[in-house]
Structure 1
């Protein structure tokens, strides 16, 4: 690695850097940039300056320009992130899951990171998902399993803060930017990178937020990704998940959505069963990577 410098990014540099650190959008970012001797940008790395994950740590992301990979730029940026957080956080997390078989996991392992949460990604037909969930919900209703006062409503300014708090508290590996994504959607509902208010649903019991399914619209504008499903611990494991998922998939099945992307923890038997019974296609397996700083020093 010749004539490469790593420097802390100032406010004036952030507009140039932020597109490379898109996964950290919605967090308070501390960023570093790598440049060559002519000042050309080779890559950037950033930390979301807030605790996240279990075990706790700061979310981080590194992006190196394709023509400059495998030249030590990524390692230099990683060292800068680790040195900056030494004494401030016990660990770093890759804010986005890394796909098995791609170059990113190999880089993460070379930096001493360890995989923690394993997830499977599926693509499911919107109509089949909705029809299967309706059949389960109808059976629950016939047996009076849905309590009075349980209803699903649209995500809006009245319930946004409670939903974000529930996600941060109950969803393992949930992005620390979730509150920012919801805020973006409320400010500009047409922004595709934000939560899709039209196809997300919130479970309320007697007016109190008890669950949510949050989606975002994909690049084609018609299909959706389910980025988060959560219910409160006291209603977990049964009717609550089915009710809020049914109402969410209804919004897609009754519109232009042909399919959903959704993730599932490798040990989540309910969601794995739903994927299998509806013929969802397994697209990839992903893992969240973790680097323990405490007691290790800079890499």
Structure 2
């Protein structure tokens, strides 16, 4: 099937936001939208949105179910590549939940994309998780592996600005977290229950968490250089368990990159189930 593609203007952006909302969230970058009109079927068959960030063009693309598998996805994609090159981009980047959309990866790889990172969101039963993580922490304490100068507290009682600066520096070093919505200095009250390790009043690690209904959710973690050992992680997770038990959480939700063997091993021990697999893909345009 063939169709027609035109640039999004005015009210067309409502279509783009409906079909590719994740690509329309930021307003601090140049953005371009493409609307697909198939020759038959629905009036709108899909949309592509390009967000230009330096030399990268972030792509969001959707084709509506009634006209999928008819070549229209490739048709829109080729138009998006032309628009990205015309806009000066040297690389195209996109991300999909490949668990929810198993067809995304074959489509993207067919068009030259390479999967560069995968981040899986897991969920586990909290009482069972608490036993495993609590035991790990207690064993470290019993073996005197915890540095004597460490104090375990919460973000509400920690020097917020110092924690926020350290977390921002951590995010800046992780390209896969470039879209992270978490900004501790703007949403401090939301994360007050997060466990923090202080050493002589200085934060050396934190596990940013919040309670969503009955779910204890880990939003992010950092440990400063020199302290990136299993001890710090186990202590933070053990503190999160104590907080979750106190607030009667029923499930524990966390994320792991596909190259984080320790967290993936822990997920298996917890019998955690994957909820989402956010996969980042990249394509060199030159």
TM-score (norm 1): 0.73
* Residue in 1 that maps onto 2:62: 63
Q: Deviations over 1:40-63 (max 9, x none)?
A: 433232344336xxxx94543222
* Residue in 1 that maps onto 2:17: 18
Aligned partners of 1:119 and 1:266 also within 8 Å: yes
| In structure 1, C-alpha distance between the alignment counterparts of 2:198 and 2:10, rounded to whole Å | 41
| In structure 1, C-alpha distance between the alignment counterparts of 2:78 and 2:282, rounded to whole Å | 15
| In structure 2, C-alpha distance between the alignment counterparts of 1:4 and 1:206, rounded to whole Å | 64
**Do residues 111 (structure 1) and 115 (structure 2) align?**
no
The size of the alignment, in residue pairs, is 277
Q: Where does the alignment leave 5 or more consecutive residues of structure 2 unmatched?
A: none
Superposition RMSD on alpha carbons, in Å? 3.7
| In structure 2, C-alpha distance between the alignment counterparts of 1:105 and 1:198, rounded to whole Å | 38
Distance 1:35 1:282, change over 3 A: closer
**Do residues 98 (structure 1) and 92 (structure 2) align?**
no
Equivalence map 1:4-153=2 (5 Å):
4-7=4-7, 9-10=8-9, 13-24=12-23, 25-26=25-26, 28=28, 30-36=31-37, 40-50=43-53, 57-86=56-85, 88-99=88-99, 102-142=102-142, 143-153=144-154
**Do residues 270 (structure 1) and 262 (structure 2) align?**
yes
TM-score (norm 2): 0.76
| In structure 2, C-alpha distance between the alignment counterparts of 1:50 and 1:213, rounded to whole Å | 29
| In structure 2, C-alpha distance between the alignment counterparts of 1:276 and 1:34, rounded to whole Å | 43
Q: Deviations over 1:201-229 (max 9, x none)?
A: 454544545444345766xx432543433
Q: Which has the larger radius of gyration?
A: 2
**Do residues 166 (structure 1) and 170 (structure 2) align?**
yes
Q: Where does the alignment leave 5 or more consecutive residues of structure 1 unmatched?
A: 190-195, 295-299
* Residue in 2 that maps onto 1:197: 191
| In structure 2, C-alpha distance between the alignment counterparts of 1:74 and 1:205, rounded to whole Å | 54
* Cα shift at 1:199: 5.8
